[in-house]
Structure 1
Amino acid sequence: MSTTNTTPPNLAALCADYWSTSITDIHPGSIKVRGYPIQELIGNVSFPQMIWLMLRGELPGDEEATLLEAALVASVDHGPHAPSIAISRMATSCGLPINGAMASALNALDDVHGGAGQQAVELYADIAARIVAGSPFDAAVEAGVDEFIAAHGKYLPGFGHRFHPVDPRAGRLLALVDARVASGTIKGRYAAIARGIEALLKKRKDRPVPMNIDGVTAVIYAELGFAPELARGVFCLSRAVGILAHAWEQRGRGERNKGPMPRQIPYAYTGAPERHLEQS
Structure 2
Amino acid sequence: MVEDVICEVLKISPDVVNDDLCYMSISEWSSLNHINLMLAIEENFDIKIDNELVLTLTSAKAIKKFIYNKGNVNKKCTTKNSSKCNFNHNLKVHRGLHDIFCDLTKITKIDGEKGYFLYRGISIDSLVRNSNFEESAFLMLKGYLPSRKELESFEKELRSLRTLPNEVIDFIKQCKELHPVDALRTIISFLVVFDLSKTDKNPLIILKKGMGIIARTPVIIAYHHRLQNDEMLIAPDETLTHAENFYYMLTGNKADKVISGFLDKDLIIHMDHGAAASTFASRVTIGAGADIYAALTSAIGTLSGESHGGATEKAMTMFEKIRTPENGIKYINDCINNGIPIPGFGNRKYKVPKDPRVKYYEEMVKYLTNGKNKPTTVLIIESIQEIMRSRMEHGLTVNVDFYAGAFYELLGIKKELSVPMFFMGRIVGIVAHIIEQLQDNVLIRPSLKYIGDEDICYTSIESRCS
Question: TM-score by structure 1 length?
Answer: 0.70
Q: Which residue of 2 is the match for residue 126 of structure 1?
A: 321
CA distance change for structure 1 residues 229 and 189 in 2, over 3 Å: closer, same or farther? same
Question: How many Å apart are 1:156 and its aligned residue?
Answer: 0.9
**For 2:260 and 2:318, how far apart are their aligned partners in 1?**
24
Equivalent position SS for 2:302: coil
For 2:411 and 2:321, locate their aligned partners in 1 and report how far apart those are by CA, in whole Å: 16
Per the alignment, in what secondary structure is the counterpart of residue 108 of structure 1?
A: helix
Contact 2:282 2:299 in 1 (8 A): yes
Offset at residue 71 of structure 1 (A)? 1.8
What is the alpha-carbon distance in structure 2 between the residues aligned to residue 107 and residue 97 of structure 1? 16
Pair 1:103-2:297 in alignment: yes
Offset, 1:153: 6.4
Q: Which amino acid aligns with 2:283?
A: R
Aligned to 2:262: 67
Q: State the distance in 2 between where 1:183 and 1:69 align.
A: 24
Tell me if the contact between 1:142 and 1:200 (Cα under 8 Å) persists in the aligned partners.
yes
Correspondence for 2:356: 168
Assess if the C-alpha contact under 8 Å between 2:368 and 2:410 holds in 1: no
Q: What is the one-letter code of the residue matched to 1:269? A: Y
Q: What are the ranges of 5 or more consecutive residues in structure 2 without an aligned counterpart? A: 1-169, 175-226, 460-466
Q: Secondary structure at the match of 1:268?
A: coil
The alpha-carbon deviation at position 62 of structure 1 amounts to: 2.4
Task: Give the % identical residues.
Answer: 25
Within the alignment, does 1:155 sit opposite 2:341 as a pair? yes
- Letter paired with 2:298: S
SS of the residue corresponding to residue 168 of structure 1 reads coil
Q: Is the 8 A contact 2:364 2:407 kept in 1?
A: no
Tell me if 1:22 matches 2:231: yes
Kindly tell me: are residues 253 and 238 of structure 1, through their superposed partners in 2, closer, same or farther at Cα, counting changes over 3 Å? same
Q: Which runs of 5+ in 1 are unaligned?
A: 1-14, 25-31, 132-136
Which residue in the other structure is 1:10 paired with? none
String of CA shifts for 1:216-264, please: whole Å, max 9, x gaps. 2122112222111111221122222222111111111133x222x4xxx
* Aligned mate of 2:253, from 51, 58, 77: 58
How many Å apart are 1:67 and its aligned residue? 1.9
1:192 deviates by 3.2
Say how many residue pairs are matched. 230
- Seen in structure 2, the aligned counterparts of structure 1 residues 238 and 201 have a Cα distance that, compared at 3 Å, is same
Shift of 1:175: 2.4
Task: Provide the rounded CA distance (Å) in 2 between the counterparts of 1:156 and 1:204.
Answer: 12
The answer to whether the Cα contact below 8 Å between 1:121 and 1:221 also exists between their aligned partners in 2 is no
Matches within 5 A, 1:78-93: 78-80=273-275, 82-93=276-287
**Cα separation, 2, equivalents of 1:212 and 1:205:** 10
C-alpha RMSD over aligned residues: 3.2
Q: Secondary structure at the match of 1:191?
A: helix
Task: Tell me the distance in 2 between the aligned counterparts of 1:189 and 1:66.
Answer: 25
**Which residues in structure 2 correspond to 1:112-261 (within 5 Å)?**
112-127=307-322, 130-131=323-324, 137=325, 139-145=326-332, 149=335, 154-166=340-352, 167-182=355-370, 187=374, 189-202=376-389, 207=394, 209-255=396-442, 257-259=443-445, 261=446
Distance 1:193 1:156, change over 3 A: same
The verdict on how the C-alpha distance between 1:183 and 1:73 changes in structure 2, with shifts beyond 3 A counting, is farther
User: How far 1:91 sits from its partner (Å)?
Assistant: 0.9
Summarize the Cα distance change of 1:238–1:183 in structure 2 as closer, same or farther, 3 Å threshold: farther
Instruction: Label 1:193 to 1:276 Cα distance change in 2 as closer, same or farther (>3 A).
Output: closer
Query: Residues 171-197 of structure 1: CA distance to partner in whole angstroms, max 9, x if unpaired?
Result: 23322332333376x955533321211
Once residues 250 and 458 of structure 2 are traced to their aligned partners in structure 1, the CA distance between those partners, rounded to angstroms, is: 62
TM-score scaled by length of structure 2: 0.44
Q: 1:112 to 1:179 in 2, by over 3 A?
A: same
Amino acid at match of 2:327: A
Shift of 1:77: 1.6
Instruction: Report the 3-state secondary structure (helix = DSSP H, G, I; strand = E; otherwise coil) of the residue aligned with 2:412.
Output: coil
Mark the CA change 1:192 to 1:46 in structure 2 (over 3 Å): closer, same or farther: farther
- The corresponding residue for 1:8 is none
For 1:59 and 1:199, locate their aligned partners in 2 and report how far apart those are by CA, in whole Å. Answer: 37
Cα distance change of structure 1 residues 209 and 198 upon mapping to structure 2, 3 Å threshold: farther
- Residues 346, 398 of structure 2: 8 Å contact kept: yes
Q: 1:274: how far off?
A: 5.4
Letter of the structure 1 residue corresponding to residue 341 of structure 2: Y
Q: Secondary structure at the match of 1:163?
A: coil
Check the 8 A contact 2:351/2:395 in 1, yes or no: no
Shift of 1:114: 1.9
- The letter for the 2-side match of 1:227 is K
The one-letter amino acid paired with 2:309 is: G
Q: Which runs of 4+ in 1 moved over 6 A?
A: 18-21, 275-278
How many angstroms apart in 2 are the aligned matches of 1:146 and 1:230? 29
Aligned to 1:192, what secondary structure does the other structure show?
Answer: helix
Partner Cα distance (2:383, 2:454) in 1: 53
Provide the residue aligned with 1:268 in structure 2.
Answer: 449
